[in-house]
Amino acid sequence: MLGVRKAVFPVAGIDTSFLPATKASPKEMLPVIDKPLIQYAVEEAIGAGITELIFVTGRGKRVIEDHFDRSYEVEHVLRARGRQNLVELVQSIKPANVECVYVRQAEPLGLGHAVLCAEKLIGDEPFAVVLADDLLDGKPPVLAQMVHIFSHYDSSVLAVEEFESWESTSHGVIDGRHWDERVISVSRIIEKPTPELAPSSFGVAGRYVLMPSIFHHLRALKPDANGEIELTPAIHSMREEEQVLAYEFVGKRYDCGTKLGYVQATVDFALRHAELQETFDAWLRERMGAAQLDAWAAGSMLSQPAPVAPGLAH
Ligand code: G1P
């Protein structure tokens, strides 16, 4: 079986969590500090050795194509201003050995349908699916960890993490048994069950390495009650014929499909951003100190001594 050379990025979906910001701009272009979410996802894939990026795109998403294309105007202006370092920065967004391919999903008919749109471009080889609104911070990159597991076991691999039971309704949830450290043999998978029906506390994060046999299962699926074809039931059906593994990845997931996850990612990334690190850290400490003082003054911390704000200590 070939190695994993191709990744599918389903980016056709319309966001409602970040309106009005995403009314006319793709949610995948929301920046965490200075880099759009889709670029983090692409960098992770490139870090896993992937050289063909397949974007399943839709109306209103054309700026994603522009982002991964050359911009002669921007480069010209930067050169004229003597900002060679920034010219290199914008040119490095898409390395020369990486190819971008775009295919349209005319209607938002679900994640499984989006993956099916890439079938002809994938052909008969294993591939990754990367959901850009899950920002995964790992070293090595989480997808590289998964490709390693894939090559070792020669089976599809789903990235999973443990979650709080109330979060089951926003994940594909697996059942199975531990096989190896961090590796679970999946016996079934259910899309977004209620906490009572969740078979475990392991939910799928937005990374998959799949065998091409998934297409046959996707094509056999009937649309669900919302008229959509989801990926999870196709994986469940695939599981009945071949082994599927779940992998507890090493790293941190930020759910940038929610405002809270997005702000958490922004804060954590700012705290180690070369340009911001020091000033942001100082500001945050001052701000937290002030917030504690406010809370104390409001009586919510009456049982505790008044905190000393940074800069006030003697
Ligand atoms: C999708 C999948 C779900 C998975 C999740 C990870 O849901 O359908 O199984 O757990 O991504 O983020 P979505 O977040 O697109 O609703």
Q: pTM value? A: 0.91
255 CA: nearest ligand 1 atom: 12
Q: Which domains does the chain have, with CATH numbers?
A: 6-255 (3.90.550.10)
Residue from 134, 132, 128, 181 nearest 158 by CA = 128
Minimum CA distance residue for ligand 1 atom 14: 170
H or E element, residue 134: strand 134-137
- Pairing, β 99-104 against β 52-57: parallel
Q: What is the CA radius of gyration of the chain?
A: 22
- Residue to substitute in 130, 134, 173, 204 for testing ligand 1 pocket (most ligand atoms within 8 angstroms of CB): 204
What CA–CA distance (Å, rounded) separates 247 from 252? 14
From first to last of its 314 residues, the chain has per-residue pLDDT tens of 678 999 999 999 888 999 999 999 999 999 999 999 999 999 999 999 999 999 999 988 999 999 999 999 999 999 999 999 999 999 999 999 999 999 999 988 999 999 999 999 999 999 999 999 999 999 999 999 999 999 999 999 999 999 988 889 999 999 999 988 899 999 999 999 999 999 999 999 999 999 999 999 999 999 999 899 999 999 999 999 999 999 999 999 999 999 999 999 999 999 999 999 999 999 998 888 877 767 766 765 555 555 454 444 33
Closest residue by Cα to residue 174 from 185, 252, 211: 185
**Which residues are near ligand 1 (CB < 6 Å)?**
111, 131, 134, 171-172, 191, 203-206, 230-232, 257
Pocket-testing residue among 11, 56, 111, 239, ligand 1, by greatest number of atoms within 8 A of Cβ? 111
